[in-house]
Amino acid sequence: MDSDGPTTGKPNASRYLQGAEVPSLLDKVMQRWRTWLVVLVVAIVGIYYLSGRSSSTDSAADSATAVPHTAVPVAAVPAKLGDLKQYISAIGTVTAYNTVTVKSRVDGQLNRVNFSEGQIVKAGDLLAEIDPRPYQVQLTQAEGTLAKDLANLENNKILYARDKELYDQKIIARQDLDNQQALVGQYAGSIESDKGAVDNAKLQLVYSRITSPITGRVGLRLVDPGNIIHATDATGLVVITQLQPIAVDFSIPEDDLPELEGAMKANPQLPVTAYDRDFKHELGSGTLLTTDNQIDSSTGTIKLKASFPNQDNSLFPNQFVNAKLLVNTIPNATLIPAAGLQRSQQGSFVYVVKPDKTVEMRPVTVQATQGDVIAISKGLQVGDLVVTDGVDKLQQGSHVSVQTAAVPPTTASTGP
């Protein structure tokens, strides 16, 4: 028998207690390890986060320190002093002052054509000849009738003078004298009619020679020699178009009419310049003649007409051109390219390059704009270097490197 205790036949309670303490100790140890593990993970994450923030801050500080020293390449031009010319531009059509379809005024055979197609002719130049012989015959007949009636008139005047002496001697009756006087008047009337017939025959003979009524360019020939032509023919011999001077018709919006009227009061003959379709080549310079007397309600425009000398024949009838009407000139304006002007919610501004190669955002006041040139009334001085390219990379105080420098025109005289 063991000396540890009496044997009762029941399980020993101390053994159960000892078996239960072992798992409890293990749980406590594991719980402590978990706690330390969580603390360790939190510490590692915190250190990593703090080190990342410090690195980002240092990188940002380095970048901020480097920005002012990085030169941005830009293009800049100096503001210029010049005259800004303001235009009203419109599409126009060249129209001839006079266009004449030359027709015959008498009937007959076309004997000869004295012009070449496309030739420049002057007023009075002989263009064609119709067979004149029928009209020469008519002239001869009219002149013969006139001569006959003149002789009869002279004879009746003599008879009248004789009858008057006989009447004074009371040899003939008053009725005989009156009849002779009536014959004198009758032949006098016939002579006037004969003179008209002679003049008409001469005129028909003149009409057999067809001359140019205007100075201009001859078109294509419509009738060949040898054909019988009539005064009633629908088609003529040729069409002549006057080219010098020539007109340009164009329309402007009715909103521009007050500005135009003000300009016409100062200068009734406003300059007008004609350009080709692409606005690249100047075709001629002229002056404004007049405006239409009413506005076209369907288009809201008013028609204008300008005159051009067209000495070089660069303008051709029915040609489409771009017309530029000069309505105002701003003298001694500060001019910059349109590319240099920037806009924001606060207003218009430009980037000006300072002597230390940094840029300044300078607010400006726009006086007028014409094409790609802008006149500045406030904010700029002549000679200020204005950035025109590369502005999207700039801010106040940015360092720049001026790579190119285009020179703007001193006067805004071209462009739509």
Do the domain assignments include residue 324?
yes
Last residue in a domain, options 278, 307, 330: 330
Q: Is residue 414 part of a domain?
A: no
pLDDT of amino acid 405: 53
The CATH number that applies at residue 170 is: 2.40.50.100
- Secondary structure (DSSP) of 92-157: EEEEES-EEEE--SS-EEEEEE---TT-EE-TT-EEEEE--HHHHHHHHHHHHHHHHHHHHHHHHH
Among 185, 211, 238, the domain boundary falls at: 238
What's the CA gap between 208 and 132, in Å, rounded? 6
3-state secondary structure of 64: helix
**Number of structural domains found in the chain:** 4
275 within some domain: yes
pLDDT at 394: 84
Of the three residues 203, 238, 273, the one that is the final residue of a domain is: 238
What distance in Å separates the CA atoms of residue 408 and residue 366, rounded to the nearest whole number?
17
Q: What pLDDT sits at residue 49?
A: 60
Q: Give yes or no: residues 119 and 227 share one domain.
A: yes
Q: Mean pLDDT, 10 residues at a time, over the chain (416 residues)? A: 44 46 56 68 65 49 49 89 92 95 95 94 96 95 94 92 89 89 92 95 95 95 95 94 95 93 90 93 94 93 96 93 93 91 89 90 90 90 90 86 60 45
Q: Same domain, yes or no, for 209 and 164? A: yes
Q: Are residues 200 and 256 in the same domain?
A: no
- Provide the CB-side half-sphere exposure for 397 (13 A, CA): 4
- The pLDDT value given to residue 391: 84
Distance of CA 386 to the CA centre of its chain: 30
Q: How far apart are CA 289 and CA 314, in angstroms?
A: 20
Domain residues for the domain of 399 are: 72-81+332-404
Give this prediction's pTM: 0.65
User: Taking the C-alpha atoms of 60, 66, 67 and 69 in order, what is their torsion angle to the nearest 10 degrees?
Assistant: 170
